[in-house]
Amino acid sequence: MILRSLLLLLLLVLPLQAETVVADLSQTRVSITANFDGSEILIFGAVKRETEIPPENDLGVIIAVEGPPEPVTIRRKSKVAGIWVNTASADIDAAPTFYAVASSAPLDKILSQTEDLRHKITTRTAIRAIDSGAAEELDQFTDALVRIRAGEDLYQTRESAVLLRSQTLFSTEFALPANLTEGTYRTRIFLTRDKQVIDEFETAIDVRKVGLERWIYNLAHERPLIYGLLSLAIAIAAGWGASAVFRYLKG
């Protein structure tokens, strides 16, 4: 009797998580080779429920893929005396080398600003900036970084790109460009209701150079002298070969 009462009390104290995310990826490893021209990742999953589907249709799904963060210095050029020179700069403490976010509806409809700041979901909140003495212009520098990397397909925002079926099954695809940075790509899936995050699922995509790309990368970073000598030898050989071909054709 006492044990039953304790179990009942425990059920009353602990919150029942009615909706949780179960998800998977079409691939968790991307290999960068000499002819790598990008890749596509399919992310799919379902909403697991302990109760019936709520009658209100306000469930949201947000998926974010984040590449390894790195510090960045943004500089602004201005024309001074007819010459373009750097006149201002701002330091970004950590900016994702790749960031893509997709949602089942417009983000402002399924995510509050408070939850966005807490979980750092949108591109702007995923960038950590430092006040470098140009605080009043920091937003402009951050906007410039987002604009530049968006033009290179490194930053992507795709609202309403997650297909949500019957408030249960969801799926979307992410296009990874060819200019990826090697490392672990953090992948997060958020379930929202009433603009609040009610569950989060996290996994990772491993992006690595393989084959000749890996050998050249290791040589350049671990044996820079040998890499430099080898590059010089290749350049000399290529120049001599081109010269020999030219003389042969001329003769």
Residues 83 and 154 in one domain: yes
Residues 168 and 201 in one domain: yes
Residue 179 lies in a domain: yes
Note the pLDDT of residue 91: 81
Note the pLDDT of residue 171: 95
* CATH code for the domain of 22: 2.60.40.3880
Note the pLDDT of residue 8: 41
Q: What are the average pLDDT values for consecutive 10-residue runs of the chain, which has 251 residues?
A: 42 57 90 81 91 78 96 77 69 92 95 95 88 65 90 94 92 92 94 94 88 54 61 69 66 58
Residues 127 and 71 in one domain: yes
- DSSP labels, 123-184: HHHH-EE---S-GGGHHHHHHHHHHHHHHTTSEEEETT-SEEETTTEEEEEEEE-SSPPSEE
Residues 222 and 202 in one domain: no
Residues 164 and 235 in one domain: no
Note the pLDDT of residue 65: 96
Residues 141 and 244 in one domain: no
Residues 206 and 227 in one domain: no
Residues 71 and 185 in one domain: yes
**Alpha-carbon gap, residue 96 to 45, rounded angstroms:** 25
Task: Count the domains in the chain.
Answer: 2
Give me the sheet containing 83-96, strands edge to edge.
69-80, 83-96, 128-129
Note the pLDDT of residue 14: 39
Note the pLDDT of residue 244: 65
Note the pLDDT of residue 159: 96
Residue 79 lies in a domain: yes
Residue 1 lies in a domain: no
Note the pLDDT of residue 230: 63
Residue 7 lies in a domain: no
Residue whose C-alpha is closest to residue 94's, from 124, 126, 128, 120: 128
Give the pair of three-digit tokens for residue 136.
């009043």
Domain range for 136: 16-210
Residues 161 and 249 in one domain: no
DSSP letter at 15 equals P
Q: For residue 206, how many other CB atoms are within 10 A of its CB?
A: 13
